[in-house]
Amino acid sequence: MDEAESNMQREAEAGTMANGSRATPLKRWLPLAVLAGLAALAFAMGWHKALTLEAIAANRERLEAAIEANRLLALAAYVVIYGAAVAASIPGALVLTLAGGLLFGWLVGGLAAVAGATVGATLVFLVARSAFGDALAAMAGPALARIQEGFRDNALAYLLFLRLVPVFPFFLVNLAPALAGVPLPTYVLGTFLGIIPATFAFA
């Protein structure tokens, strides 16, 4: 009886390990699939062409009317669009920040922009920690190694510095912490706090 139970336990453990091995590739590639889908959708719909000051000014009345009709839904849509633009590395974050301040006011627009930018940057961070991280590191070049060195002593303080003083491109600052092993909560907190001053200045 004991031998039969032991065999059943071993079979259950083997099944659990097999299921885990099948789930791991999906878990590692899912962030990349989401990011690629966002980028493809944005370019296919031509949304990147609308991220200009001229386009915002030309459609200001329509945008304000939509916001008046459903402010919460409009605000949620703004955060999603901002996050998708950052995650897909679509140029236009500055325009979106200015538009947020114009349409929602500097306080609400600034908070929404910070939330959207943090969500987008976190998606890039998760992709960098997936199976695609090595390829992204190769594309980033030697500048990435210089940034990674700064995370060894105090990751949060260094990330705050990089966010407050934009010495390196935003994409590299999103990528380096993931490849340097910075914990996700530290990254999210440092990103959220670090981008507040510049975002509110523009909003």
On whether residue 92 sits in a domain, the answer given is: yes
The 3-class secondary structure across 168-189, one letter per residue, is: CCHHHHHHHHHHCCCCHHHHHH
Task: Give the number of domains in the chain.
Answer: 1
On whether residue 13 sits in a domain, the answer given is: no
pLDDT, position 150: 76
Residue 32 pLDDT grade (very low, low, confident, very high; cuts 50, 70, 90): low
DSSP the chain: -HHHHHHHHHHHHHHHHHHHHHHHHHHHHHHHHHHHHHHHHHHHHTGGGG-SHHHHHHTHHHHHHHHHH-HHHHHHHHHHHHHHHHHTT-S-HHHHHHHHHHHH-HHHHHHHHHHHHHHHHHHHHHHHTSTTHHHHHHHHTHHHHHHHHTTTT-HHHHHHHHHHS--S-HHHHHHHHHHTT--HHHHHHHHHHHTHHHHHHH-
On whether residue 182 sits in a domain, the answer given is: yes
Residue 197 pLDDT grade (very low, low, confident, very high; cuts 50, 70, 90): very high
Which carries the bigger pLDDT value, residue 139 or residue 98?
98
Residue (of 118, 190, 187, 198) closest to 165 by Cα position: 198
On whether residue 162 sits in a domain, the answer given is: yes
On whether residue 6 sits in a domain, the answer given is: no
pLDDT, position 14: 45
pLDDT, position 175: 78
**Residue 37: which domain range?**
28-202
pLDDT, position 108: 94
Q: What is the pTM of this model?
A: 0.72
Residue 194 pLDDT grade (very low, low, confident, very high; cuts 50, 70, 90): very high
Residue 29 pLDDT grade (very low, low, confident, very high; cuts 50, 70, 90): low
Which carries the bigger pLDDT value, residue 43 or residue 52?
52
Q: How far apart are CA 184 and CA 169, in angstroms?
A: 20
Q: How far apart are CA 84 and CA 81, in angstroms?
A: 5
29: left (phi over 0), alpha (psi -120 to 50) or beta: alpha
Q: How many of the other CB atoms lie within 10 Å of CB of 46? A: 8
Which carries the bigger pLDDT value, residue 32 or residue 95?
95
Residue 152 pLDDT grade (very low, low, confident, very high; cuts 50, 70, 90): confident
Query: What percent of the chain lies above the pLDDT cut of 90?
Result: 23
Does position 46 have pLDDT exceeding 70, yes or no? no
On whether residue 7 sits in a domain, the answer given is: no
Average confidence (pLDDT) over 86-115: 88
Does position 44 have pLDDT exceeding 50, yes or no? yes
On whether residue 1 sits in a domain, the answer given is: no
Residue 124 pLDDT grade (very low, low, confident, very high; cuts 50, 70, 90): confident
On whether residue 74 sits in a domain, the answer given is: yes
